[in-house]
Amino acid sequence: MKGLNWEKYRTRIDGKNITNLRFSEDVVLCTKNSEGAQEMVDVFDKTGKVIDLEMNKKKTQYMENSWGTTG
């Protein structure tokens, strides 16, 4: 995930700036808006293909939490 230059997408959660959460075989991308989320997914998908990793579009989900941006 390093080297993807996602600083502009970061969001603040519990006092920490983050862009992603990684679990065993799953990744959660975190950003402030849907435009940033789409850009991150596109970059993540393109970068993954370089090393023969493919995103499972059927398992990909989008979730928005307005509470996080309004307080």
Question: So what's the pLDDT on residue 67?
Answer: 65
- For CA atoms 28, 36, 33, 31, the dihedral sign is positive
The burial class, CB within 10 Å (0-12 / 13-18 / 19+), for 41 is middle
Q: How far apart are CA 32 and CA 12, in angstroms?
A: 9
- All structural domains of the chain with their residue ranges: 1-50
On whether the pTM is more than 0.75, the answer is no
Check residues 66 and 45 and name the one with the higher pLDDT: 45
> Cβ atoms within 10 A of the Cβ of 29, count?
19
